[in-house]
Structure 1
Amino acid sequence: MKSRNLIIIVLVILAIAPQVLPTFQITLLNYIGLYALVVLGLVLLTGVGGMTSFGQAAFVGLGAYSSAYLTTTEQLPSWLAWSAGSPWVGLLIGLLLTAAVALFLGALTLKLSGHYLPLGTIAWGISLYYLFGTMSSMGGYTGISGLPSLSLFGVLLDKGEKIYYLIWAILMVAVWITSNLLNSREGRAIRALKGGQLMAESMGVNTFRSKMVIFLISALFAAISGWLYAHTQRFVNPTPFGLSMGIDYLFMALVGGVGSVWGALLGAGILTMLKQWLQDWLPLVMGGNGQYEAIVLGLLIIFMMQRSPGGIWPLLVKLAPASWRNQNHIKITSSAAELPRRDLPQKGKLILEACNVTRRFGGLVANNQMNLKLHAGEVLALIGPNGAGKSTMFNQLSAVDTPSDGEILFLNQSLKGKSSRQVAHMGMSRTFQHVKLLATMTVLENVALGAHLRGNKGIISSALHIEREEEQRLLQEAQYQLERVGLGEHLYTEAGSLSLGQQRILEIARALCADPCVLLLDEPAAGLRHKEKQALAELLKKLRQEGLAILLVEHDMDFVMNLADRIVVMEFGEKIAEGLPEEVQSNPAVLEAYLGGAE
């Protein structure tokens, strides 16, 4: 059975459920659908983007209260009178209000890192909760009653089994949108947020924009859930929109699988049903009344997090046949047009220049008055003993770091004030001393991230699945670069399962995917076997012939001496020698500082 057929079977079961299940079970399914919609946003925000939020319940409240106010207030302000109290207009206004609040709060909190981000979400979540309770126009803590039932195409959705179809239809659309988004150019940028922001910025990804996108989407999903909740209950008060419910949503995501789209549905279903079952049975076992279910539920979640920190859905996926899992791989068509390529500068033209670059870290001078030049069609090696300041210089050349004094010119433009993302768009690409890749993504997807700056389709195109032509072009380019470096047989292998040497080769393929005119390689031969080094040297020679300028930091002297056109030697942050390989090899200062002393 194909996974697509399994999904169809599940949809058929959901469609006939209201016809065969009692009213109470339908009510539970409605709550599961409402909760899953919120949790789906948390999968994007927390599971994929790596940003923990305790404030999603507040966004649910914004959606609920916006429509409640609009549909129950007798004298609406003149600028809202045109709405005639329509719940559908309430949805629109709730989404607009939620979007405005989310953009404001995101601008304030998404720049925080570590434990400050979740603390920030707790702060504004509590603030919005108390705002709902203290505003007399919103009914205070008593709440607002008498909300109208929804009506769709003349059908009044006044019963649970009727609004059930709307809840689950919206949820399935949200699942489809989220799945489309994650399997796209924008989705790769979003998935790079968790543990790969420095790398993503160097590949041309605007990581703050990606954070804002998923923060906004998760808030809008929550607002839609709140709107549905309000018109299902026909009553709202602040209680369901407090911090405790925000924690419950996170628990649902953790139980189902915080990084899995379908885990959102699974987690919402399991926690909702389990909580109901515990509420029914624990008083009979324990005797008396009390919130025993909260205690037991907490212990069960702790146990599950110890045994399966990734949640239940990833466990189910592992049990599924391999053929099902492989069906998610995007097939590459050879008919897609090639991506346009930049014209490389004329061979011998000065491309990159460091002029008296000094970098201080407090009282430590890591680089002192460093000068170097890199020309088109040239391989320049930067060598020196450990602690010589090579990596610091490398980071300044790629705009990851900024010189304290001096200037770096790339294509006759100063890099002062420019980010690594901007420099990547100008035509500079790099690898890293410590390999930076997304271990759970395929090799193909990792390399396609390098082509991010060569695409222009945005979030809406990705969510609606109408950017397939560009996506095919990006993936085809990634496949070409992988075949070029000898990793063509590993397209759908998880990048984390490659050897260290293969991961370094993957980084080079990813850098080439950006179509650069300057390639900065940080210890590219580290971890490679002899034949792999030979293949890498041949590739770099070919790139040099094509006109690419290559700067590499390397410790393997045989590799450097047989490849580099010129060599710059550093010691204690300063340049002590520069010249042809044979000149550097015989330089007394180099022999003393780096090669073990002159004979």
Structure 2
Amino acid sequence: MIRRLIPLLALLLLAGLAPRLLPSFHVTLLNYIGLYSLVALGLVLLTGIGGMTSFGQAAFVGIGAYASAVLTTHYGLSPWLGLLAGLAITLVVATALGLLTLRLAGHYLPIGTLAWGLALFYLFGNLPGLGGFGGLQNLPNISLFGWQIRDSADFSLLIGVLLVISLWLLDNLLHSRQGRAIRTLKDSAGMAEAMGIDTARSRLQVFIIAALLAALSGWLYAHLQRVVNPTPFSVVMGIEYLFMIVLGGVASLWGALLGATLLTLIKQVLQDVLPQLFGHADNVEMIFFGVLVILVLQYARGGLLPVLSRLVPAAKPRPLPEHAAHALPRRTMPANGQPLMVAEGLLKQFGGLVANKDMGLTVHGAEITALIGPNGAGKSTLFNLLSGVLAPNAGQIVFLGQRIDGLSPRAIARLGVSRTFQHVRLLPDMSVLENVALGAHARGKAGLLRSMLHWERKEEAALLAEARRQIERVGLGDALHTPAGSLPLGQQRIVEIARALCSDPLLLLLDEPAAGLRYGEKQALAHLLEQLRGEGLGVLLVEHDMEFVMGLADQIVVMEFGQRLAGGTPVQIQQNPAVLAAYLGGVE
């Protein structure tokens, strides 16, 4: 924690000393860097980490600026009330736009943000009472406990304090349970839902945080300039904000500051140099920025800060609490042999293709049930029906007496069903510990505000302690702080099992867990599954390795052409003529 505070204290010290050490022009540049950094911080969270590209952040800057400008110039209210009004209006607008826009996927999302960014820009210029494109002038100074904040030197400290507070809040958020959920949004939303994470809610929260930071920047800008007009809130400025995070570090909070600094300084230099070269500046610097961004994307895709970070020795991982963490509550295991999940008469059609027909199976507590069949038999479809990824066209699925067919993967996960994936879905840049802790997300309660203020220390310690316990349980204790993407495929599959166990499931669904494992790793996996069975856990696994299945499963269900071909013990399945015909084409 202290290591993370040192850069923040250094930044605050710079904000306090800058007016005493630098000329006023340079202090003004620093102020603009601070204002741009606030918007860029939100974009790092929204775009770099959350995976949602927005061209409309400048419009939220405008809402914060205009709200305060109208209240202070037309009604004579305090700028602080203008700030509250700007944040409140931004909250309402961002919530409404987020609910509409964030449903879009792929390239439709940035196009949607471009549309409402343009709409708000022209609204600022045409809405009665906002001064048209000439804007509003003579905004009052900000006063704080008798301190009149008039010039750039005064604003330097205020902007610095607000920037440091914003960095601290976002850093706390990203090192929390909520932060891990946010990191799944970019590439692993399906996995996150299977871990009990409400990804739609997380996306909306990130969108609102980014909008509020932009509005805060707009409020500061309005009273620093004391003039507000629509020009600084155009889509062109929104693109520049994106340039900042791409240049500095698209997924790094400090990269936002670096990008804002570099773009501001480069822009200033170009405005001095270009008139000498071309006789005018106009928007020629945007051509330069475009080329620069292309080069960065080509040779430093994550931005310049990650490149610079490789030159600095990596910081040691945070030590985990040994005794302070309390144990998380655990579910009561059902009686051995009790039916956990019962599927009957399942039908799944994709147009004219029938993937599953009249399919059923039962998984009991303290038993391992294997689902096998030739390629194309419909095993994956059935697995997705049982885990909630797909909804059946007919039939029912019951888990501990409750129908779950049609429920979302998140809802099914919260009932006590956890799963792994056929193709490993880990966050490669996150440590093994953080990846596994995602499985315990539904066992925590700390919300966004508690996480940002770092009031969830005890809960976070308990979640990480549980993740460590599951990692050691599967034999990967030496890889706690190793990036998950650097592990061999076999160990990545074991990490997925540890993540599934971290949710304290009653039923474990494993999709080809032995694929890619060496003989010794398979033996270790078999030993682990036998241990879980002994603890009362029910296991359903889809697998192609017959030797692995026959030596482990209590019951085996065989599928062919989307239907149940046979079921029974391993001995019964090995002696079943229909199964032998399906796999070997008949027996002599």
- Normalised to the residue count of structure 2, the TM-score between the two structures is 0.98
Secondary structure at the counterpart of residue 594 of structure 1: helix
Deviations 1:128-181 (A, max 9, x none): 111111012111111000100111121100010001110111011000100000
- 2:312 match: 320
Match of 1:334 among 323, 326, 346: 323
- 2:567 match: 578
The AA in structure 1 aligned to 2:57 is Q
Deviations 1:354-380 (A, max 9, x none): 110010000100001001111111100
Q: How does 1:406-555 map to 2 (within 5 A)?
A: 406-555=395-544
Contact 1:71 1:86 in 2 (8 A): yes
Q: How does 1:581-592 map to 2 (within 5 A)?
A: 581-592=570-581
Secondary structure at the counterpart of residue 319 of structure 1: coil
Alpha-carbon distance, 1:3 to partner: 7.2
Query: How far apart in 2 are the matches of 1:4 and 1:94?
Result: 29
Contact 1:49 1:193 in 2 (8 A): yes
Deviations 1:530-579 (A, max 9, x none): 11111111111111111111000001111100100010000110111100
Distance change in 2, residues 1:63/1:449 (3 Å): same
Q: How does 1:27-42 map to 2 (within 5 A)?
A: 27-42=28-43
Residues 1:223 and 2:215 aligned together: yes
Match of 2:177 among 185, 197, 202: 185
- 2:242 match: 250
Contact 1:345 1:547 in 2 (8 A): yes
Contact 2:246 2:296 in 1 (8 A): no
Distance change in 2, residues 1:176/1:398 (3 Å): same
Alpha-carbon distance, 1:294 to partner: 2.0
Residues 1:140 and 2:135 aligned together: no
Deviations 1:109-134 (A, max 9, x none): 10110000000000111111111110
Residues 1:89 and 2:78 aligned together: no
The AA in structure 1 aligned to 2:71 is L
Query: How far apart in 2 are the matches of 1:127 and 1:436?
Result: 39
- 1:355 match: 344
Contact 2:370 2:541 in 1 (8 A): yes
Contact 1:333 1:472 in 2 (8 A): no
Contact 2:11 2:164 in 1 (8 A): no
- 1:103 match: 95
- 2:112 match: 120
Contact 2:436 2:502 in 1 (8 A): yes
Query: How far apart in 2 are the matches of 1:301 and 1:257?
Result: 12
Alpha-carbon distance, 1:12 to partner: 2.9
Secondary structure at the counterpart of residue 136 of structure 1: coil
Query: How far apart in 2 are the matches of 1:460 and 1:115?
Result: 31
Contact 1:334 1:476 in 2 (8 A): no
Query: How far apart in 1 are the matches of 2:28 and 2:195?
Result: 48
- 1:53 match: 54
Alpha-carbon distance, 1:8 to partner: 4.3
Query: How far apart in 1 are the matches of 2:321 and 2:52?
Result: 32
Secondary structure at the counterpart of residue 369 of structure 1: strand
The AA in structure 2 aligned to 1:13 is L
C-alpha RMSD of matched pairs (Å): 1.3
Distance change in 2, residues 1:107/1:5 (3 Å): closer
- 1:297 match: 289
Query: How far apart in 2 are the matches of 1:243 and 1:292?
Result: 17
Secondary structure at the counterpart of residue 138 of structure 1: coil
Alpha-carbon distance, 1:286 to partner: 2.9
Alpha-carbon distance, 1:595 to partner: 4.1
- Normalised to the residue count of structure 1, the TM-score between the two structures is 0.96
Match of 2:381 among 392, 395, 401: 392
- 1:20 match: 21
Query: How far apart in 1 are the matches of 2:586 and 2:504?
Result: 41
Query: How far apart in 1 are the matches of 2:241 and 2:284?
Result: 19
Contact 1:201 1:420 in 2 (8 A): yes
Q: Unpaired runs of 5+ in structure 1?
A: 75-83
Alpha-carbon distance, 1:297 to partner: 2.2
Alpha-carbon distance, 1:416 to partner: 3.1
Residues 1:270 and 2:262 aligned together: yes
Distance change in 2, residues 1:297/1:380 (3 Å): same
Deviations 1:335-355 (A, max 9, x none): 311111000111111110111
Match of 1:563 among 552, 561, 564: 552
Contact 1:63 1:91 in 2 (8 A): yes
Q: Unpaired runs of 5+ in structure 2?
A: none
Contact 2:12 2:161 in 1 (8 A): no
Secondary structure at the counterpart of residue 563 of structure 1: coil
Query: How far apart in 2 are the matches of 1:229 and 1:2?
Result: 31
Aligned residue pairs: how many?
587
- 1:234 match: 226
The AA in structure 2 aligned to 1:299 is V
Secondary structure at the counterpart of residue 105 of structure 2: coil
The AA in structure 1 aligned to 2:388 is A
Alpha-carbon distance, 1:333 to partner: 3.0
Query: How far apart in 2 are the matches of 1:571 and 1:373?
Result: 17
Query: How far apart in 1 are the matches of 2:168 and 2:10?
Result: 16
Alpha-carbon distance, 1:293 to partner: 1.8
Secondary structure at the counterpart of residue 377 of structure 1: coil
Distance change in 2, residues 1:446/1:171 (3 Å): same
Alpha-carbon distance, 1:13 to partner: 3.3
